[in-house]
Amino acid sequence: MSNMKLSEMCLFLTVFCGTCGAVSDATGPIGPTSTIAFVQISRADKFLHDKLRQIGLVKIMLEFLPNDGPTRTDWVDFSGDASEEHTLLFADGISIDTLRGSLDHVKSIHGTERAVAALKQDGTVVDWGKGHNGQRDSSSVQHQLKQVQSIYINDATFVALKEDATVVTWGLESYGSDSFSVRNQLRQVKSIYSTNRAFAALKRDKTVVTWGDEDYGGDSSHVQEQLQKVKSIYATSKAFAALKEDGAVVTWGKDRSGGDSSHVQEQLQDVKSIYANRDAFAALKEGAVVTWGEDESGGNSSHVQEQLQQVKSIYATDLAFTALTEEGTVVSWGRDFFGGNSSSVLANDLKNVTSIYATNWAFAALKKDGTVVTWGFWAFGGDSSSVEDQLQQVKSIYATEKAFAALKEDGTVVCWGKNTHGGDCRTVQQNLTNISHVSASKRAFIAVKKEPANRYVMW
């Protein structure tokens, strides 16, 4: 979903095609640019590195693409076992060797559940994948895919925003690939937002156009007159919320997922920002918080409302919220399993908090003294007891979907959470020294070393 927390920022590895240098183990060089392709890696083992070297993708540098923009930027997964008989595969089974030519001069890669589209530097688009039954590839609109500026996605449809501010769509019809009914309105588009099965386009004149599955926000006709002077749009899995320039909020989509805000509408004035998880919204206004959507997922904050004073920021897992106050205290609500209940943490431990981070299932609070407190589902980052004695002098924390990594002042890294999502870094621990910064994809971490210069470690 769009407008996610900074801890869910997407990492793309900019893979350069060339012949200088090779990746041979868990660390490698970062070289100058030539032809590029953004590819996100989820396996950081020797087999993966060997295969990258074999096909000539050996130069790697980092580019940070924060996932707080108008849409999700999804990922391309690598799979395969360590047998020499296997070649490196994309998630849909297409060999990367087959795609190598198509991946030259690629600017970014975006994936729905079963298909992938690559935006090239010349503004053209290449796509591949099996797709859902009935999902169209881009062949029928390929002649329109010129001068593309950016690509947006939901679960089964792609939307290309062109330099002339028009839009091209393809994919599964019921998910928004059929934009014929609004095609004359899709001009002067500034940005695009998505739920799982619908899209909302914010135009330069600050009006909004929607299409896709009506139950997922594709039909905004009943609030269309209110969608004027819109500043930004936010989304849960099935609903949209538009924040207007005057601080008012307009919602539509599935009622239980935040599409119906009628019971709090009088409170939705002078709103500064909106936060979303999968099924609920939280609006921040003058230090106070207003919530709506599915009650159990954070849409109902009545039991903690008295504590929600002087709030300066809000964070979200999939089905819970946590607010950080100006005083450095923490308030959580939503589903317990997703971090909505921090009562397991002693009240004194949740004081002097400077920042909060989240996986999809758990929260981690970084305190002023450099220690860390965690809560939520124990297996996906909520239980850090196994590394508690190491979580001292921490300066920042990073998160995949189900694991955390803490960067310490001395340049070392501590990990916990689900092993397959980066929670176990023991195999590369000896290389996790002199680290300058870390970033995370959905399932893996990458750390850049200060010395030797421009070396990276992945796990």
Do residues 259 and 252 make contact, with C-beta atoms less than 8 angstroms apart?
yes
Q: Please compute the mean of the pLDDT values over residues 340-360 and round it to a whole number.
A: 90
pLDDT one-digit tens code per residue, 223-249: 999 999 999 999 999 999 999 999 999
Closest CA to 402 of 420, 426, 384: 420
**Lateral strand order in the sheet of 362-367:** 353-358, 362-367, 372-376
Q: How far is CA 150 from CA 48, 122, 125, 162, in A?
A: 29, 12, 10, 7
Which pLDDT score is estimated for 292? 98
Quote the CA–CA distance of 372 and 396 in Å, as a whole number: 10
Reported confidence tier of residue 453, pLDDT bands at 50, 70, 90: low
pLDDT per residue as tens digits for the range 31-54: 222 222 333 333 333 444 444 444
Distance, CA of 205 to CA of 228 (rounded, Å): 8
1 vs 404, which has greater pLDDT? 404
Mean pLDDT, range 397-415, rounded to an integer: 96
CA 14 vs CA 53, 79, 178, 415: distances in Å: 15, 19, 32, 24
Give the global pTM. 0.80
pLDDT, tens digit (0-9, with 9 covering 90-100), for 189-220: 999 999 999 999 999 999 999 999 999 999 99
Query: 90-99, 209-218, 391-400: which has the minimum mean pLDDT?
Result: 90-99
pLDDT band of residue 283 (cuts 50, 70, 90) is very high
Residue 6, pLDDT above cutoff 60: no
Q: How far apart are CA 56 and CA 269, in angstroms?
A: 55
Q: How confident is the model at residue 328 (pLDDT cuts 50, 70, 90)?
A: very high
> What CA–CA distance (Å, rounded) separates 150 from 168?
11
Q: Is the pLDDT of residue 134 over 80?
A: no
**Are 31 and 15 a contacting pair, CB within 8 Å?**
no
Considering only CA atoms, which of 127, 254, 172 is closest in space to residue 241? 254
Residue 277, CA distances (Å) to 31, 87, 138, 197, 296 in order:
38, 37, 31, 16, 12
Please answer whether residues 198 and 153 qualify as being in contact, where contact means their C-beta atoms are separated by less than 8 angstroms.
no
Cβ-contact 235, 193 below 8 angstroms: yes
341 Cβ neighbours under 8 A, 6+ residues apart? 332, 375
Q: Which amino acid is at 230?
A: V
pLDDT level of residue 320 (50, 70, 90 thresholds):
very high
Tell me the percentage of the chain whose pLDDT exceeds 70.
Answer: 74
Mean pLDDT over 146-167 rounds to 94
Looking at the chain, the whole-number percentage of residues with pLDDT higher than 90 is 60
Give the C-alpha separation, 219 to 210, whole Å: 6
**Torsional sign, CA 294, 154, 364, 43:** positive
Residue with tokens 């009622």: 255
- Enumerate residues 6+ apart whose C-beta is below 8 A from 176: 154, 157, 159, 169, 194, 197, 198, 199, 211, 212, 213, 218
| The predicted structure's pLDDT at residue 251 | 98
Confidence of residue 375 (pLDDT cuts 50, 70, 90): very high
pLDDT at 90: 34
Lowest mean pLDDT of 68-77, 162-171, 344-353, 355-364, name the range. 68-77
| More confidently predicted of 442 and 30 | 442
Q: Could you tell me which residue, 18 or 239, shows the higher pLDDT?
A: 239
d(CA 185, CA 220): 14
437 vs 397: CA distance, rounded Å: 10
For the segment 246-274, the average pLDDT, to the nearest whole number, is 97
| pLDDT value at 84 more than 70 | no
Residue 131: pLDDT band (50, 70, 90) is low
Query: What does the alpha-carbon distance between residue 342 and residue 322 come to, in Å, rounded to a whole number?
Result: 9
How sure is the predictor about 124, in pLDDT bands with cuts at 50, 70 and 90?
Answer: very high
Q: Using 50, 70 and 90 to split pLDDT, how confident is the model at 432?
A: very high
> Does pLDDT of 95 surpass 90?
no
Examine the pLDDT at 262 and tell me if it is beyond 60: yes
